[in-house]
Amino acid sequence: MSPELVRKKYGIDELARRIPADRAEFFRGFVPWAEDVQGWTLSTREAHPTAERTDLRTIWDNPGDPNTRILIDVAELRSAAEAIEALVAPLGYNQLDRLPDGPPNLGLASFAHPDLAPPAVFFVQGNLSILVSSFGRQPVAVVDAARRISARLAERPGGEPRPMRLEADGDRAQSGEAITFSIDVPVRLGVEGYVKFFVTGGVVTRSGDRFTLRRAAPGSVRVEAFAVEPGRETYAADLTVTFE
């Protein structure tokens, strides 16, 4: 199926219009954890980073049944709009005429295989485009794993996090303009560590190793950042920029 036909069939432009202009979730280096797949065993992790995106594939084996496996593909993009656009290729690979909508309240948009096809869920959350699919000889349900991933992405860690730094080019900017910021995590995160941002009042995109904030009207934008990793204390920081 051609990309343009896929875009029209799935309403990609309409999905992009769902992206909020005054709040955002954004992720850097996200990886699935064993808890997302009921503690199954990781057998494959392959990452393919480029300047525009990083594609990460993990495969999880059921220790109680070698015939059931789950594949999780995570495409990390520079913006939520690019994450929506990244749905075009995997949706176009499907031989079905059109996939039905996925479970309600799963990310910004979701699609799923119908009952008679191998279980698979496609969804977008923040700047991530994610596929969770059954991968073994025996089919296994994947919606619960997709929901666990989505809930972990949306979670604000509790407790008393240790401090880290967000550094912006300034604390004021003109409405409609952009201001960039960077993050300084005081420890080197392991392969399962990642950073999440929650933005209130504006939107965020990535530009190289830095991040860009925008707001269309006068007001303030707050960024809350967390660096998380299994078995390690959380690091956190926040930043406020005023747009005039």
Q: CA-to-CA distance for 18 and 181, rounded, in angstroms?
A: 25
Q: What does the pLDDT read at residue 29? A: 97
pLDDT at 52 over 80: yes
pLDDT at 221 over 90: yes
The pLDDT-based confidence of 159 (bands split at 50, 70, 90) is confident
Mean pLDDT, range 35-63, rounded to an integer: 97
**Residues ≥6 apart with Cβ < 8 Å to 157:** 226, 228, 234, 236
pLDDT at 158 over 90: no
What backbone phi and psi angles, to 5 degrees, belong to 178? -120, 150
Note the pLDDT tens digit of each residue in 101-132.
Answer: 999 999 999 999 998 899 999 999 999 999 99
Q: Which residues pair with 197 in a beta bridge?
A: 26, 225
Q: What does the pLDDT read at residue 107? A: 95
**Residues ≥6 apart with Cβ < 8 Å to 10:** 87, 88, 91, 98, 99, 111
Domains of the chain (ranges plus CATH)? Answer: 3-19+32-154 (3.40.1000), 162-243 (2.60.40.1080)
pTM for this prediction:
0.96
Burial class (CB in 10 A: 0-12, 13-18, 19+), 220: middle
CA angle 39, 192, 55 (to 5 degrees): 100
CB atoms within 10 A of CB 139: 16
Note the pLDDT tens digit of each residue in 56-95.
Answer: 999 999 999 999 999 999 999 999 999 999 999 999 988 7
Note the pLDDT tens digit of each residue in 180-218.
Answer: 999 999 999 999 999 999 999 999 999 999 999 999 999
Mean pLDDT, range 157-176, rounded to an integer: 93
Burial class (CB in 10 A: 0-12, 13-18, 19+), 169: middle
Ramachandran sector of residue 78 (left: φ over 0; alpha: ψ -120 to 50; beta: rest)? alpha
